[in-house]
Structure 1
């Protein structure tokens, strides 16, 4: 039996019944979501409220609740609505496609940094984000991975995109939660740690920082840094695919942890 959808998901997927009587609605969910995204892009997530969105679309705040049940629902709509259409995988090897797919997700977050506050652990629920997941699974067709493994691959790459975007954003905008430390970027962070770490207790980390491992040219900002971590993940996926294909050079399955 098909599970009943909660009202928020019915709205997001256009599954609400269309009233046969009464005036036609003045607004639609896409218009409201776009207005909320515009506010968040300009003023940050703190600027988004039911009243500010209502003012942007020209209705009273009470009228907005006819379309959006709560601010929490609105944030969910925004996370989905900000996603553009994903690239299509046809004609690309799976590795090339997933490299592009992951970088574009990172770029979306960097363009709309307010996503970092609400999309960290939320599974995709809306039609746009689920389209991204669908295309990742399609790109892995024919690799020998089962469906669960394909979903895990997509989840790992999405998590990496979000984490790298968070680090890159903090490195370029500063660390407001540590204002009293004077940390304004990765280089400041590295210098600060280099001054407090005991080389005997933290020999490897201390040596790396004193050698400038988080200098101005590194520290999660450059695309080279992003690609380095991405290649580590893609190499692991490639090895898993080789194991599923029975390649003796790919090694045995790792022991369960």
Structure 2
């Protein structure tokens, strides 16, 4: 096993690898308490509200006391990105495709419940014990499919990337980015109407026709749940084809 001392201190604490103090009173704080307080602030006020001082105030200590557990705000964000994640779905004997569909949707839902995660985890590989448990469960679901370990990890990474991208789009259209709000665009319907107005049918014939058909709004238009499922099925169909090719020896 790797020496825990080679890990950054915050990861040592996240993994329970930090040596226990030999003497003195038991600390009244720990990384779990600090992380939970920071998550509460982020959920209420966004990442802009999270600072060492605001977290210290939430747990009732001086700001300097936090530096015993987290050396910087970046360390705190690393812990938050892992600490906010619940246990992964229970495979419960599900076939790999059914499980990965539940697994991917659950990741999307976590981000929609805590949209500040988009600024923390979008391009960061998992480091903490909770997020890596999700990766482990995805790999386990793919046991017996004929895929090698690298292919399994690529499958999990692709599905995670899709969940994050779809969550970002859904959150933006639901809450409005500054660019959309400043343009008076609120929601998918308004977005489609603006595009239908500005697109030149001669230059953008296919896209213009799609927007003018009302694809982004109305009863038959864009809905985040249906859109997510459509894209997820495309990915799962591709994974199914890859498994079939491996089974046939191609």
SS of the aligned residue for 1:109 comes to helix
Corresponding position of 1:36: 38
Corresponding position of 2:133: 131
Matched-pair contact (CA < 8 Å) for 1:102–1:161: yes
- Stretches of structure 2 that go unaligned for 5 or more consecutive residues are none
Counterparts in 2 of 1:48-197, with a 5 A limit? 48-197=50-199
Rounded to whole Å, the distance in 2 between the matches of 1:16 and 1:148 is: 31
SS of the aligned residue for 1:245 comes to helix
Aligned CA-pair RMSD: 1.4
Matched-pair contact (CA < 8 Å) for 1:175–1:183: no
SS of the aligned residue for 1:107 comes to helix
Q: Which moved more, 1:166-175 or 1:228-237?
A: 166-175
Following superposition, the deviation at residue 179 of structure 1 comes to 2.8
Rounded to whole Å, the distance in 1 between the matches of 2:45 and 2:8 is: 30
| Deviation readout 1:174-228 (Å, 9 max, x if unpaired) | 222333211111111111111111111111111100111111454452x222111
Matched-pair contact (CA < 8 Å) for 1:186–1:216: no
Rounded to whole Å, the distance in 2 between the matches of 1:2 and 1:216 is: 56
Rounded to whole Å, the distance in 1 between the matches of 2:16 and 2:42 is: 24
Aligned positions, number: 247
Normalised TM-score (structure 1): 0.92
Matched-pair contact (CA < 8 Å) for 2:185–2:191: yes
Counterparts in 2 of 1:205-216, with a 5 A limit? 205-216=207-218
| Deviation readout 1:51-97 (Å, 9 max, x if unpaired) | 01001111000001101111001011011001000112241000000
Q: Which moved more, 1:191-200 or 1:211-220?
A: 211-220
Rounded to whole Å, the distance in 2 between the matches of 1:17 and 1:103 is: 38
Matched-pair contact (CA < 8 Å) for 1:168–1:220: no
Normalised TM-score (structure 2): 0.95
Rounded to whole Å, the distance in 2 between the matches of 1:196 and 1:170 is: 21
Corresponding position of 1:2: 2
Rounded to whole Å, the distance in 2 between the matches of 1:80 and 1:220 is: 29
Corresponding position of 1:227: 229
Matched-pair contact (CA < 8 Å) for 1:164–1:220: no
SS of the aligned residue for 1:205 comes to helix
Rounded to whole Å, the distance in 2 between the matches of 1:158 and 1:38 is: 24
Following superposition, the deviation at residue 120 of structure 1 comes to 0.8
SS of the aligned residue for 1:118 comes to helix
Rounded to whole Å, the distance in 1 between the matches of 2:194 and 2:149 is: 45
The verdict on how the C-alpha distance between 1:209 and 1:157 changes in structure 2, with shifts beyond 3 A counting, is same
